[in-house]
C-alpha cells in the first residue's frame, strides 16, 4: 500500500497540490483522475520522487520515501515500475536491451537468465519475437506494451502508469487497460494510473481519486462514480455528449 499524507507542491506562484492525502491499495488499480492542470501528474511525480513535495509525506508500506536520501531511495525504486506517457524507451537500445536494462543494473544474473526474463515479459505483453526491433520501428501501442514489459522486468511491487491511453485508438487503449489490470492482479502490485480517459475509469477504476484545483475532491470506485452528486465530478465525468446520453 502507498499512502500520501498532506502533499503540497508549488511551482512559483502556482499552488498545484494543496494538501492531498490518499491511500493506494495493494493488488488494485488505483486511478487518479481530473481535468488538465488539476495536479494529477504532479502528484504522481511527487510519489515517485521526480518532484520533491514542499510539504507532506509519501509512505511505501510503512517506509517514508520523502525523508530518505538518494541511496536509501534506490531500494524502493528497484521495487517501482513505471510506464510513461510517451513510453520513454531508450532510443539507442532495442526492445530486448530496454527490458534487460534494469536487470543488468541491479542483478547479477547471467545473460541466459536475463534473456529468459526479457522474453517472459515480452510474451506477457503479447510481443514475443520483437526483441531486436528498435523503438523507432514500433507503433504507439507497441511502445506502450514494451514500456509495460520494461516496468515489470524487475517484478515490481508498485506500478505507476502516466496517461496510458494518450495517442492510442480506442481498441488499443482497451488492450493496454486490460493488460494493466491483468498485471496488477497477477503480480499483486499496487498500481497507480493517472488518466482522464473515461473508458479507463469505467473499465479498470477499482479505487478512484478525483482531483480538482489541486485538491482531492472525491474518492470512490467506478461503480459509485456515475451515482455521485458531486457537481465538479459530474462535470468531468459527463463532459461528453456520449456520457450524457448514457446517464439519461
Partner 1 sequence: MIFHPLGKYILLLKAVFRRPEKWNIYRREIFHEMVSIGVGSLGIIAIISLFLGAVTTVQTAFQLVSDFIPKSVIGMIVRDSAILELSPTISAIVLAGKVGSSVASQIGTMRVTEQIDALEIMGINSPGYLILPKIIGAVTMIPLLVIISIGLTILGGYIAGSASGAVSAQDFIVGITTDFIPFTFTVSMVKSVVFAFIITSVSAYQGFYTNGGALEVGRSSTKAVVISCIAILFTDYLVAQLLL
Could you tell me the smallest distance in angstroms from the CB atom of residue 219 to partner 1?
26
Looking at beta carbons only, is 41 or 184 nearer to partner 1? 41
3-state secondary structure 126-153: CCCCCCCCCHHHCCHHHHHHHHHHHHCC
Residues 180-219 that bind partner 1 (CB under 8 A): none
78 closest CA partner among 96, 105, 43, 109: 105
Residue from 5, 8, 63, 73 touching partner 1 (CB under 8 A): that is: 73
Region for 61 from its dihedrals, namely left if φ exceeds 0, alpha if ψ lies in -120 to 50, beta otherwise: left
Residue from 77, 143, 145, 212 touching partner 1 (CB under 8 A): that is: 77
Residue from 104, 126, 155, 221 touching partner 1 (CB under 8 A): that is: 104
86 binds partner 1 (CB under 8 A): yes
82 binds partner 1 (CB under 8 A): yes
Residue from 6, 21, 61, 90 touching partner 1 (CB under 8 A): that is: 90
Looking at beta carbons only, is 99 or 198 nearer to partner 1? 99
Residues 212, 25, 238: CA angle, nearest 5 degrees? 35
Residue from 7, 16, 29, 48 touching partner 1 (CB under 8 A): that is: 48
106 binds partner 1 (CB under 8 A): yes
Q: Which residues contact 9 (CB under 8 A, 6 or more apart)?
A: 15, 16, 17, 39, 42, 43, 46, 51, 53, 54
> Distance between CA 39 and CA 220 in Å, rounded?
18
85 binds partner 1 (CB under 8 A): yes
Residues 157-186 that bind partner 1 (CB under 8 A): 160
Q: Which residues contact 211 (CB under 8 A, 6 or more apart)?
A: 20, 32, 33, 34, 38, 39, 40, 43, 217
Residue from 13, 69, 70, 245 touching partner 1 (CB under 8 A): that is: 70
68 binds partner 1 (CB under 8 A): no
Residues 27, 33, 38: CA angle, nearest 5 degrees? 140
Could you tell me the smallest distance in angstroms from the CB atom of residue 215 to partner 1?
25
What is the binding site for partner 1 (CB under 8 A)?
48-50, 70, 73-75, 77-78, 80, 82, 84-86, 88-91, 101-102, 104-106, 154, 160
Amino acid at each position: 500500500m502507498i499512502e500520501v499524507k498532506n502533499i503540497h507542491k508549488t511551482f512559483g506562484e502556482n499552488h498545484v497540490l494543496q494538501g492531498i492525502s490518499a491511500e493506494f491499495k495493494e493488488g488494485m488499480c488505483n486511478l487518479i483522475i481530473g481535468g488538465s492542470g488539476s495536479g494529477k501528474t504532479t502528484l504522481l511525480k511527487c510519489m515517485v520522487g521526480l518532484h520533491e513535495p514542499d510539504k507532506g509525506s509519501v509512505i511505501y508500506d510503512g517506509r517514508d520515501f520523502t525523508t530518505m536520501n538518494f541511496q536509501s531511495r534506490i531500494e524502493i525504486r528497484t521495487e517501482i515500475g513505471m510506464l510513461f506517457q510517451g513510453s520513454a524507451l531508450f532510443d539507442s537500445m532495442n526492445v530486448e536491451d530496454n527490458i534487460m536494462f534494469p536487470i543488468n543494473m541491479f542483478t547479477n544474473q547471467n545473460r541466459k537468465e536475463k534473456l529468459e526474463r526479457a522474453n517472459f515479459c515480452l510474451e506477457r505483453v503479447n510481443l514475443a519475437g520483437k526483441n531486436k526491433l528498435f523503438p523507432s520501428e514500433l507503433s504507439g501501442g507497441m511502445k506502450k506494451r514494451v514500456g509495460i514489459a520494461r516496468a515489470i522486468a524487475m517484478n515490481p511491487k508498485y506500478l505507476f502508469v502516466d496517461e496510458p491511453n494518450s495517442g492510442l485508438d480506442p481498441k488499443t487503449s482497451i488492450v493496454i487497460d486490460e493488460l494493466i489490470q491483468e498485471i496488477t492482479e497477477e503480480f499483486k502490485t499496487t498500481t497507480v494510473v493517472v488518466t482522464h480517459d473515461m473508458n479507463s475509469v469505467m473499465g479498470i477504476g477499482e479505487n478512484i481519486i478525483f482531483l480538482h484545483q489541486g485538491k482531492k475532491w472525491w474518492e470512490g470506485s467506478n461503480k459509485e462514480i456515475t451515482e455521485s452528486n458531486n457537481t465538479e465530478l459530474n462535470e468531468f465525468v459527463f463532459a461528453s455528449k456520449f456520457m450524457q446520453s448514457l446517464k439519461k
